[in-house]
Amino acid sequence: MPDTEIADLLRGFARDACHQDPVYVALCGCAAANDRACALLAEAPPDQRKPNLLLAALHERVLAGAAPELAAYYPSAGGDRAPDDGLSAALSACLDREWAVLLQHLRFGATQTNEVARGAAIWPAIGDAAVATGARDVALLDFGCSAGLNLGVDQLALRYRTDDGGTHARGAPADGRRVEIDARWLGDAPLPCAGWRLTHRHGLDPAPLNPADPADLRWLQACLWPHDATRRERLVRAAAQLQTLPVTLEQADDCVAAIEPWLRTLPGGIQPVLLTSWVLYYFSDTALAQLRATVDRLTRSHGLAWICGDLPERSAQQAAPALPTLPPGESAASATLWTLRWARDGAVQERVLGWSHPHGRWVAWGHRRPPG
């Protein structure tokens, strides 16, 4: 990709994706004007050549204490300096000093955010899968799991604020130790019911992270925006909580091929559910077609259900419904469409479940669920 395209990519990211973080808006502008920064991003494989990977690599160096000039601008590192003319020089200093480590991140790293607040949508989606399949006991396979934090979705203390001013608790009870998620529940669909339980938790990833490892945890934190202390605290708490659960994370160079062997390990009477959340965004069209064909085959042969949350053009194989009216200040740019695919009478079915904010701030479920 020519440097001019890289620069345009960075400027577009500042405009459309990280406009809420003034440090990242300014840093993207500095990087777009810096030939070395553009060359560094060009070192990433095509499917990972995203500005947020470059930003995460720089953030990791800040959190590691290796980029003091940049750290002055990062609230996540205790900095409080507003973006100014010195930011460009701070970026250059980091590139000069930390080039070798940054190059490793860009060539071999991946943005692995593990946004557990997305559980505000995953939780009702599993409920829908359980209703559609008639299951109670669920085995969850997180595809592209990173550190597997979303495998603890049933341990979240969820609070949904409804349009009528009410607040409703779902999921595990809040007890001061559990991760608590606060989300807006838009529209008049009934709130999710707890008619299922997770009995098996398995994650697949080309490079799974261990949340108990300080370097891996630092990378997870580096993938967050520097200003967002709430997400940072939530991630750390979720990482600690996951260590108390029976979770298996599997390294797989070919995660698609690893789905069927996992299915064979499950006992009878357990409903297998595949979860992909903001994974297909990184897939080529060819890889996405292969995943869909494999999952549809396993849906028919093994009863696999697939929950997918992603951009609408990646998630749904049918026309996406219109977005609901969003809360004031919310953007539709990264709205996540949630779909469910499952087998009924030997045929693959697809249902659009609803929309959510990519970080779970709001959820809009689009159909009525049978009571129970």
Q: Residues 349-363: pLDDT tens digits?
A: 999 999 999 889 999
Does residue 366 carry a pLDDT above 80? Answer: no
% the chain with pLDDT above 90: 74
Q: Which of 87, 108, 129 is the last residue of a domain?
A: 108
Q: Span 323-333, mean pLDDT? A: 86
pLDDT at 332: 85
Do residues 125 and 176 both lie within one domain? yes
Do residues 134 and 11 both lie within one domain? no
3 state DSSP class of 25: helix
CATH number for the domain spanning 218: value is: 3.40.50
Does residue 194 carry a pLDDT above 80? Answer: no
For 263-309, what is each residue's pLDDT tens digit? 999 999 999 999 999 898 888 899 999 999 999 999 999 999 999 99
Number of independent structural domains in the chain = 2
pLDDT at 193: 74
Q: Which of 73-87, 136-150, 303-317, 320-334 has the lowest mean pLDDT?
A: 320-334
pLDDT at 113: 66
Cβ atoms 111, 52 nearer than 8 A: yes
Q: Which of 69, 86, 108 is the last residue of a domain?
A: 108
Does residue 179 carry a pLDDT above 70? Answer: yes
Q: Which of 57, 88, 108 is the last residue of a domain?
A: 108
For 141-171, what is each residue's pLDDT tens digit? 999 999 999 999 999 999 999 988 888 888 8
pLDDT at 274: 98
Do residues 88 and 133 both lie within one domain? no
Give the separation between CA 204 and CA 305, rounded to whole angstroms: 16
Do residues 97 and 151 both lie within one domain? no
Give the separation between CA 167 and CA 150, rounded to whole angstroms: 23
Cβ atoms 114, 179 nearer than 8 A: no
Q: Span 328-336, mean pLDDT? A: 85
**Most distant CA atoms of the chain, gap in Å:** 64
Q: Which of 8-17, 170-179, 243-252 has the lowest mean pLDDT?
A: 170-179
Do residues 74 and 10 both lie within one domain? yes
Give the separation between CA 247 and CA 141, rounded to whole angstroms: 10
Does residue 371 carry a pLDDT above 50? Answer: no
Do residues 61 and 190 both lie within one domain? no
Do residues 102 and 171 both lie within one domain? no
pLDDT at 370: 35
| Alpha-carbon torsion (363, 368, 371, 372), positive or negative | negative
Do residues 66 and 128 both lie within one domain? no
pLDDT at 20: 82
Confidence of residue 189 (pLDDT cuts 50, 70, 90): confident
For 24-45, what is each residue's pLDDT tens digit? 999 999 999 999 999 999 999 9
Domain enclosing residue 176, as ranges:
116-365
Q: Span 97-126, mean pLDDT? A: 92
CA contacts within 13 A on the Cβ side of 51: 25
Do residues 273 and 344 both lie within one domain? yes
What is the pTM (predicted TM-score) of this model? 0.87
Do residues 165 and 61 both lie within one domain? no
